[in-house]
Amino acid sequence: MFFVVACFFFPRPMCELLHLKVPDPIIWVRTSGMLLFIISVFYIPAALDPFRYRATAIMHIIPSRACGSSFFLYSVLARGQEAGFLSIALVDLFFGVMSAIFLFLAFRTGQAPVTGASRG
């Protein structure tokens, strides 16, 4: 949520932190923050119960994290975009890999953990 808050409420300092040119109009940075927030909200049900929302849990990784990190890596390494976008790519890649590992382990066990809410 750091990127969401920073992009939406502090777009200029966020661009400076990432060593990116500040776009004109700056509303595009705020829009990115808003869209990240919306996407994040859609993943909450799958994060709470990946067995019930299996498809959403998988889409959190592929295509979301995989495409996001690939896009920014390609943009910087092959298309010459600003190096500040690498930090976005690496954050997406890190969370994508970690999510994939934990989701694989959860699905491999084949059962959802028992929580207070599911005991009834």
Q: How far apart are CA 120 and CA 94, in angstroms?
A: 36
Domain ranges within the chain, ordered by starting residue: 2-109
Residue (of 116, 118, 112) closest to 47 by Cα position: 112
pLDDT of res. 113 = 60
Query: In degrees, to the nearest 5, what angle opens at C-alpha 62 toward C-alphas 29 and 90?
Result: 50
pLDDT of res. 58 = 92
Tokens matching residue 18: 């990432």
Using CA atoms, how far residue 95 sits from 47, 52, 69, 103, 110, in Å, is: 13, 21, 10, 12, 22
pLDDT of res. 115 = 63
Ranges of residues in the chain with a pLDDT under 70 are 111-120
3-state SS, residue 20: coil
Q: How far apart are CA 51 and CA 110, in angstroms?
A: 9
pLDDT of res. 118 = 54
pLDDT of res. 110 = 78
pLDDT of res. 28 = 94
